[in-house]
Every structure is written in structure tokens, then in C-alpha cells.
Amino acid sequence: MSVGPGLTADLCLKCNICTSACPVAAVTDLFPGPKAVGPQAERFRHPRLPAPDHSVAWCSGCGVCSRVCPHGVAVTEINVRAKGDLARREGISLRDRLIARPALLGRFGVRFAPLANAVLVNPIIRRGLEISLGISREAPLPAFSTSTLRRRQAAHVARVPTPAAPGEGQPVAYFHGCSAEYYEPWIGELAISVLEKLGCRVVLPPQGCCGLPLQSNGLFDAARRYARWNVQSLHPFVAAGMPIVGASTSCTLALKHEYQAILGLEGVAVSEVAAAVYDVFEFITLYKMEELERLHVSSIPIRALYHPPCQLKSHAIGTPAIEVLQLIPDLELIHSEAECCGVAGTYGLKSEKAQVARDVGGILFDQAGEVSPDLILSDSETCRWWIEKHAGVKAVHPLQLLARALDIP
């Protein structure tokens, strides 16, 4: 496995900028900060020896430490790898193995959606899950859809890339991830509709879970299997000239960055797939703004609080959703003052970490109470579910507003 210069702990200056910026260290003494458990502790770690301390398990993997490091040390990546080593040495619980597999849960849940959804909101069952598995009864668990995106959009499913016919528009491969496939298929349908309205021909290539939940819970070998399968499935579409566009910032970050930087995948196909991946709003701002500006954009006279997810910030592309949504007349956009909403994927689902996750998101929840938005916008599904639960305001994907402004039902 190759290790880039950013993963070299010796480059750390011990300036503690990462610790001062860390949202978890700010709310709990259980986590001494990314420098202490990352670059500082890394020199004491050895493949055949236990980790020097267990506090690295409290890292949420939000990525802020890597973003603020003045010397380019990949602090988050060091910590995520250390968390994985710690989890494997101490054993990975049944809970973590379950919540790390949204595709497996989704396949089962869609088949029995009415019953499964009733079970997930039953307070007695939720209390039992907390006692037996350690899944917080206060954590939002998404409802299963009654059908998958690929079933609903079967005409867009493509096993292999095919040349575009005259007048069909730019071919684009949509990576829907587990959320749009099993929980929010309407997000995938809106992504397809928006891209088609902007002149694209959208296909759904073969794909599986991005593997990020597995990685976050220490199941690196399983995550690599998913990653390799996705690369193998997506590379023919990339080789045919198709960009890979996704509306889940965690999935696109996994394809762009995590497969190489954390899972250690190498090869031409891995790097070519990574280079071809775009967040949907990133893709629009780079390639489709002229088409968008020629369309009629309807007024939406509401106030919306926009929270860019941590994964989006780690893309290092700014906030392309704001650039696009500013074209909507009468829409008042307020930018989130919070670094992180707190949930960090599956982190906030765990009963022992739930209060820390809520405290991390306190800045956002307080801001929502102060500005009284009609909606909260966020590009990440887990962020939306978490924010809506704890801020008490409807949370939607920015695509939903854009589609409404473009008169897409």
C-alpha cells in the first residue's frame, strides 16, 4: 500500500491548528484532538502492537483537520486508518457490522417496507435496539422506499456504455449510491431529470455501495471489495468518455479520494475513475451553467439555511450549490455557521457517541432557531436526516429546490 507524503506524520509541526478547529474536541474531553491521536501518536504505532490509546475512536472523520493543516498533513486519513486498526484489534461489534451495510439493509427493507418502517418508529423496539445493540433510540433512521431507483428508472439502466445517438446530448453516468437506491429514490429521479433538462443523456451504470460506511466502522477489507467492484464496473463508462456524477457527497468523495488515500487502491482504472467523478452541482457549475441560464427559472420566495456537508468541504470545490441556487429569484439563502452537523455518517447512530454528535451540531441547531428558515438544505442524506430530527425544520437536498425552480414535478 502506498503512502503519500501527506500521510507522513513527521511533517506535523505540532501547531495545534487542527485541534482548535476540531468540532469534536470542542465538545468533549474524551477526544484530545486530531494532532494528539493522529500525527503525534502515529510514531508510537506498530503493526504488531496495540494502539497507544483508544481516544482515536472518538474521531468522527469529518475532515476538518486535514483541511486546515498548514503543512498539508493528511490528519484525517491518519486517524481513520488508526481507527480501523483499533476496531480490528478490539473486535467489531454486531451493531457496527450492521449499520456499515446500508445496501444489505436496503435490499431487505425495500422488500418489506411497510413492516420495516413501522418497526423502526416503534419506541419499544427502538429502546430494545439501544439496549441490545447500542443504536441510539434518538437517532433518525430513514424510512425504506417501497421500490428501488433502478426499478423505477429501468429505462436508464445500462450494463455497458453505448454511443450517443445524434441529438441525445452529452452522456453522463449517474452514481446513485445506497440512499437514492433504497431510501430516497426521488432524489435520484430529480438528479436524472435536472441533468436531462440541461442536455444530458443519463444512464445508471452497474454499481454497489461506495463502501464508506464499511471504512468508517473499521471493515476495510469489505470496503476494498466494494471499491474494486465499483471501479471495475464504472471504468468502462469513464473510458467511453462519460463523467460520473453523483448527488451524495459522501459517495462521490469515496470515489474521488477515499479509495486511493485511505483504502490504498492503486492502478490506472482507479485514478481514471477518481478523476472523472463530479458532485452534481460541481458538474453543473463547470459544464452546464450556460444551459441553465437559458432556461426559465421560477421564483421561490422562501428563506433557506444551507449547510454544506463535511464531505463536500473535503472535495475542495467550494459550495457550487450556492452558485446555482443564487439564480433562483426571491430565494433567500443563509449560509450555515457550523463546521459540522455532528452525525458523521454512522457516528451519531451509536448510543455512546450520540450526545457528542448532538453537541457538535448545536451551533447549526441554534442558528436554525435564530433565523427561522422555511427549509434547511444539505447535500448529504445522513446530514439531512440528522438535521431535520434535531433542528425541527424540514431538510431537503438542494436539487429539490432547483428542480422546483425548473418546473420539474
- Collapse the DSSP code of 238 into the 3-class scheme (helix H, G, I; strand E, B; otherwise coil) and give the result: helix
Q: What is the pTM of this model?
A: 0.93
CATH label, 5-90, candidates 1.10.1060.10, 2.40.30.10, 3.30.830.10, 3.30.450.40: 1.10.1060.10
Cell of 266: 492503486
pLDDT for the residue 403:
97
Pick from 227, 117, 123, 110: nearest CA to 175: 227
Ramachandran quadrant class, 134 (left: phi over 0; alpha: psi -120 to 50; beta: rest): left
CA dist., res. 191 & res. 205, Å (int): 15
pLDDT for the residue 45:
66
For residue 248, report the phi and psi dihedrals to the nearest 5 degrees: -110, 115
pLDDT for the residue 50:
56
Q: Residue-wise over 224-260: b if at least 16 C-beta within 10 A, else e?
A: bebbbebbebbbbbbeeebbbbbbbbbbbbbbbbbbb
Cell of 255: 470515489
Collect all residues with Cβ–Cβ distance below 8 Å to 80 and sequence separation of at least 6.
Answer: 59, 61, 215, 216, 262
Check if the beta carbon of residue 397 is closer than 8 Å to that of residue 379. Answer: yes
AA identity, residue 316: A
Indicate the helix (H) or strand (E) that contains 304: strand 303-306
CA dist., res. 223 & res. 165, Å (int): 37
Check if the beta carbon of residue 170 is closer than 8 Å to that of residue 131. Answer: no
CA dist., res. 399 & res. 197, Å (int): 13
Indicate the helix (H) or strand (E) that contains 41: helix 39-42
Dihedral sign (CA 139, 358, 384, 62): negative
pLDDT for the residue 49:
58
Check if the beta carbon of residue 31 is closer than 8 Å to that of residue 24. Answer: yes
For residue 76, report the phi and psi dihedrals to the nearest 5 degrees: -60, -45
Collect all residues with Cβ–Cβ distance below 8 Å to 208 and sequence separation of at least 6.
Answer: 103, 226, 229, 230, 233
CA dist., res. 71 & res. 84, Å (int): 24
Structural domain spans, the chain: 5-90, 94-132, 149-282, 294-405
Number of separate helices (H) and strands (E) present in the chain? 25, 8
Averaged pLDDT, groups of 10, the chain, 409 residues long: 52 89 95 87 66 82 93 90 87 95 96 95 96 96 96 96 80 97 97 97 97 95 97 97 97 97 96 98 97 96 97 94 97 96 96 97 97 98 97 97 96
Collect all residues with Cβ–Cβ distance below 8 Å to 131 and sequence separation of at least 6.
Answer: none
Dihedral sign (CA 45, 50, 55, 59): positive
Residues linked to residue 333 through DSSP beta bridges, in sequence order = 304
Residue 187 burial (C-beta neighbours within 10 Å; 0-12, 13-18, 19+) = buried
Q: Where are the alpha helices (DSSP H) in 112-266?
A: 113-120, 123-132, 149-152, 177-178, 185-197, 212-216, 220-239, 249-253, 259-261
* Packing angle, helices 220-239 and 268-275, rounded to 10: 70
Q: Which residue has the cell 459550495?
A: 319
For residue 172, report the phi and psi dihedrals to the nearest 5 degrees: -135, 135
pLDDT for the residue 2:
38
pLDDT for the residue 6:
47
pLDDT for the residue 5:
39
pLDDT for the residue 46:
61
Q: How many CB atoms lie within 10 A of CB 262?
A: 25
* Packing angle, helices 123-132 and 113-120, rounded to 10: 70
Q: Which fold has domain 294-405?
A: Rossmann fold (3.40.50)
